[in-house]
Amino acid sequence: MRDFTTPTDRLILGAFVLSILLVGALIAVPVLHAVELSFYKAESFISARQWVGLANYTRVLADPAFWHAFALGLGFALIAMGLQLMLGIGFAQLLNLPLRGRAFVRGAVVLPYLLPTVVIAVTTHWLLDGAYGLFTVWAQQLGFGRPAWYDHPVSAALLIIIASVWTWTPFVTITFLAGLQSIPASLYEAARVDGAGAWKRFWHVTLPMLKPVLLVVVLLRSIWMFNKFDIVWLLTKGGPLGATEHLPILSYRKAFNQFDVGGGAAVATLSFLVLSVMIAIYFWYFPLDDKGAEK
Amino acid sequence: MSEDKKTGDLVPVGAEGIDTRRRRLTVAAGVVAAGTLASPWVHAQQKTIRFLNCEPSRDSVRAMKVAAAEYERVSGVRVVVDTVPPDQAYDKLQASISAGTPYDISGLIFVAHVVLLAEAGKLMPLTKMVNKHKWGPRILFPVKGEQYWYPYDYNFAWMYYRKDLYAAKGLKVPNTWDQFADNAKALTEGNNFGVTIPIGSNGAGQWLAPGFMWADGVKLLDDKWGLSLDTPPMKKKFSGYLDFMKKLSPSMPPGMSQALFATVIGQYSGGQTAMAPYAGRLMEVLEDRAPELAGKTGFFMYPDSVGKNVAVNHGYDGWVVVKTPMQEEAMKFMDWFTENQYINFLHTAPLHFQPPRMDVYEDRRWRAHPLIEKHGELVDFMRSILTRNDVIIRSVDTEGPAPDVRPGKMFESYGVMEAIQSRLIKDMPADEATELCIRKLKASIV
C-alpha cells in the first residue's frame, strides 16, 4: 500500500474517489432502486407499493412478449453487429490504403456517427414517406409499387438494423483503422516474402493483430445494440404489432405506459442479468490480452 | 463633557447626539423592516407556485407566462411555468413528487392519471371551483364524489373532408360505412388518397381510428366492469368494424401503422388525402399554412354501418392542483386563473381548445376571436356534439361506469389497435382479430 503524499497522488486519489461516488450515485443507486421496484406491485411511481416477491419475475417470464422481445434484441444485436464488423473492417482496409484525398474521406466517413439519432430518424421517415419519400418514389419508378416500409413486421425490423448499421459503422471503421495503423509493416513484408497473398495476409496477419480491437468492438456493439432504445423508439415505437418491441421498449412501456412499474423493473433487471451473463461467458471464451498488466 | 439633562451624569460631548441618531436609525430601520415584512405584498413575494404546463404551442406558453406575470403583479405571488409535451406531463409530475419537489399545479391529459393521483392522496379537491359552472357531458371525472380536475378543453375527433373534391366527384357526405369507404375509394388516385387514419399502437391511432366503432354501438366495458366486448353481439359489431377498416385500407396512404398526429395534419394540409379525422387543430393549421384549403374543408361525425348513429372519439385536457406546502396559494391562483384568464388561454388554440364550460359559448369575449367568428359553422357543429342527444361520445380510456384506472390500462394495452393491425397488415380474419383484442383487454384489466 503506497502513501499518497505528493499533491499529484492526492489529486489522483481525489479524482478516483469522486468517480466512485459519481458512479455510485448515478448508476448503482438507480440500478438498485430498479431491482428493488421489481419486487413490488405498483401502478405508478407514487402509488402505494405492495410486496410481491418474485411474482413479477414469474409473470414476466411466462409472458411470450418477454421472450419475443429477448429474441428480437438478440437478433438486432447479432445482425447489426455482424454487418457493422464486415463493413467496418472493409472500409478500414480501404481507408488504410495510400489513396489521394484520404484525409478528407477519413473525415467524411465519420459523419453519420456524428449525427444525432433524432436527425437520422426524421430523415429516415422522410425518405420512406408513403407517398413522397425518395425511396418510395424510386420503388414506384422501378415498378415495385408503393412499399409500406413501416407496415410490415420484417421490413420495420430491417429498417432499424439498416439505420443502426449506417450510424454505427463509422465507429467500427475508425476503431479498426486505428488498429490497422498499429500493425508493423514488417509483418506484411515477411508474409509477402513467404509468398502469402492478400487474403492470407488479411487472415493470418491483419485479423490476429486486430483481435484485441475486434473483441472490444464486438462486446461494445453487442451491448449497445441489445440495449438500444432511441433509434427503435423514434423509428417504430416497437410496432407494428410488437414486431420491433425488444426488451428496453417492453420495459419502458410496462413501467411508464401500462401502469406496471414492477413488471417494467423486472424486465429491466432480467435484461441486465442476461447481459451480464452473456458478457461473462464472452470473457470466459475470449479473454482480453492482459500482457500489459503483467509488465 | 456635558451633563445629561435627565440624570445629571457627565457624558462625552456628542455622545448623546450619536446615540440618538443611532437609535433613530435603528428604530426607523426596524419600522421599515417590520412594515415591509408585515405587508401582504412583500410577504407574498416570497412565495412561488410551480405550474407544469402541458400545452407546448408558442401561443399557449406565452398566454401562461403572461397570466403568471399578471398574477404576480396583482398578488405578489410568483408563478413559475415549466412546459412539457402533453404525453410527458404525468411522468414529469410523478418525478417531481417522488423527488420531494412537486409541482403545485399540473396539466394532465389522461383520466387514469387523475384517478391514480387522487387515490394516492396527492391532489387537492377542486369541487367548489368546478361547481361554479355548468359543464358539458363526460368531461368531469369525479373520484369518490370529489372533483380533482379542472377541464380546459374537449378534443373530440371528427372527420374533415375536401368539399371541392367531393363536388368534383359528385359525392355526398356519407351516412354509412359503405358510403364512406366508397367515397374514399373514389378519391384515391395516384399519389392522392381517400383518407388518412392512423392505425398504430399509439395515441394518434387510438384517438382517431375507433370513432366508427363507437358510432356502431361498440362498448368495451359494461356497467359492472365486465368486458362487454366478450359478448356475441359486441363481437359481431367489432368484427364488422375490423372488416370495414380492411375495406378502407386501400384508400389510405402507406405507413399508417406508424402515423402520428403530425402525419394526419401534414397529409391533409398537403393535399395528399381528401379526408382525415381530427379536432379543431386541423382547421387552425389550414388557416395558418394552407388557407386555400380552409374554405374547401367540411366536417362530419363518424357514421355507423347503417346510417342510424354518429359518433366522435372523446378527448379532453385539464389541470390538477397538487398537495404541496403551497397548495393554498395554488388554489387561489387557480381560482383567479379560471375566472380571469381561462378565455385568454382557450384563445391560444381557438378551435382546438373546445370549451367544456358551457358559459364560455355565450361569452362575447370568447366569440370575439377572429377564427371563432370566421368558422361559426364549425363552432356550432362542435357545440352540437355537446347538446345533441344522438351523438355518441366515447373513447377507450373513458369506458366503464366511472372514472377508473382500468380503462387507462386497456388504452395502453392497445388491444383495439392491434386487432386493427392484425386485420389490415396480417390479413387475420376479423373473428380471430376480435378474440385477440379480447385477450389483450382482459389481460390488461386483471
pLDDT in tens, B150-180: 999 999 999 999 999 999 999 999 999 999 9
User: Chain A contacts of B272, Cβ < 8 Å?
Assistant: 131-132
Over residues B71-86, the mean pLDDT reads 96
In a domain, B411, yes or no: yes
pLDDT of residue A97: 86
In a domain, B390, yes or no: no
User: Chain B contacts of A157, Cβ < 8 Å?
Assistant: none
pLDDT > 50? residue B17: no
Quick check: A46 and B272 CB within 8 A?
no
Over residues B85-93, the mean pLDDT reads 94
pLDDT of residue B48: 95
Q: Are residues B440 and B428 in the same domain?
A: yes
pLDDT-based confidence at residue B21 (cuts at 50, 70, 90): low
**Domains plus CATH for chain A?**
57-294 (1.10.3720.10)
Query: What is the percentage of chain B residues whose pLDDT exceeds 90?
Result: 87
| Secondary structure (DSSP) of A170-201 | HHHHHHHHHHHHTS-HHHHHHHHHTT--HHHH
Over residues B396-422, the mean pLDDT reads 95
Establish if A244 touches chain B: CB-CB under 8 angstroms. no
pLDDT > 60? residue B297: yes
- State the best of A33, A37, A43, A44 to mutate against chain B, taking most chain B CBs within 10 Å: A44
In a domain, B207, yes or no: yes
Residues 220-239 of A with CB under 8 A from B: 236-239
- Rounded to a whole number, what is the distance in Å from the CA of A157 to chain B's nearest CA? 13
Find the range with the poorest average confidence among A261-265, B208-212, B256-260. Answer: B256-260
pLDDT > 70? residue B365: yes
All cell numbers assigned to A130? 408513403
pLDDT of residue B30: 58
- What are the beta bridge partners of residue B2? B11
Over residues B302-323, the mean pLDDT reads 97
In a domain, B388, yes or no: no
Interacting residues of A241 by C-beta distance below 8 A, sequence separation 6+: A153, B201, B257, B418, B421, B422, B425, B426
pLDDT beneath 50, residues of chain A: 292-295
Find the range with the poorest average confidence among A36-45, A130-139, B183-192, B329-338. Answer: A130-139
Which chain B residue's Cα is nearest to A128?
B255
Pick from B116, B254, B426: CB nearest A44: B116
In a domain, B389, yes or no: no
Which chain A residue's Cα is nearest to B122?
A46
CATH number, domain containing residue B206 = 3.40.190.10
User: Chain A contacts of B274, Cβ < 8 Å?
Assistant: none
- What are the beta bridge partners of residue B83? B53
In a domain, B385, yes or no: no
pLDDT-based confidence at residue B85 (cuts at 50, 70, 90): very high
Q: What is the average pLDDT score of chain A?
A: 89
pLDDT of residue A2: 61
Model pTM? 0.84
pLDDT > 90? residue B294: yes
Q: Are residues B46 and B173 in the same domain?
A: no
Q: Are residues B399 and B282 in the same domain?
A: yes
Q: Are residues B275 and B192 in the same domain?
A: yes
pLDDT > 60? residue B259: yes
The total number of structural domains in chain B stands at 3
- Report residue B3 CA to chain centroid gap: 80
pLDDT of residue B206: 95
User: Chain B contacts of A136, Cβ < 8 Å?
Assistant: 254
Residue B80's H or E segment, with its range, is strand B78-83
pLDDT of residue A287: 80
Task: Specify whether the CB–CB gap between B298 and B173 falls below 8 A.
Answer: yes
> What's the domain range around B176?
158-314+395-445
Cβ atoms < 10 Å from Cβ of A123:
12
When mean pLDDT is compared over A6-20, B35-49, B420-434, the highest value belongs to B420-434
Q: Are residues B30 and B114 in the same domain?
A: no
pLDDT > 60? residue B42: no
Task: Specify whether the CB–CB gap between A38 and A272 falls below 8 A.
Answer: no
Q: Are residues B225 and B300 in the same domain?
A: yes
Find the range with the poorest average confidence among A52-61, B5-14, B262-271. Answer: B5-14
pLDDT of residue A293: 43
Q: Are residues B188 and B322 in the same domain?
A: no
Could you give the dihedral angle defined by the CA atoms of residues B243, B248, B250 and B252, in that order, rounded to the nearest 10 degrees?
Answer: -130
In a domain, B257, yes or no: yes
- Rounded to a whole number, what is the distance in Å from the CA of A81 to chain B's nearest CA? 26
Interacting residues of A79 by C-beta distance below 8 A, sequence separation 6+: A161
Q: Are residues B164 and B305 in the same domain?
A: yes
pLDDT > 80? residue B34: no
Query: What is the percentage of chain B residues whose pLDDT exceeds 70?
Result: 90
Q: Are residues B136 and B276 in the same domain?
A: no
Question: What residue has cell string 485479423?
Answer: A207
CA gap B374, B352 in Å, rounded = 14
In a domain, B276, yes or no: yes
Q: Are residues B108 and B233 in the same domain?
A: no
Interacting residues of A11 by C-beta distance below 8 A, sequence separation 6+: none
Q: Are residues B143 and B174 in the same domain?
A: no
pLDDT of residue B26: 58
CA gap A273, A31 in Å, rounded = 12
Q: Are residues B103 and B239 in the same domain?
A: no
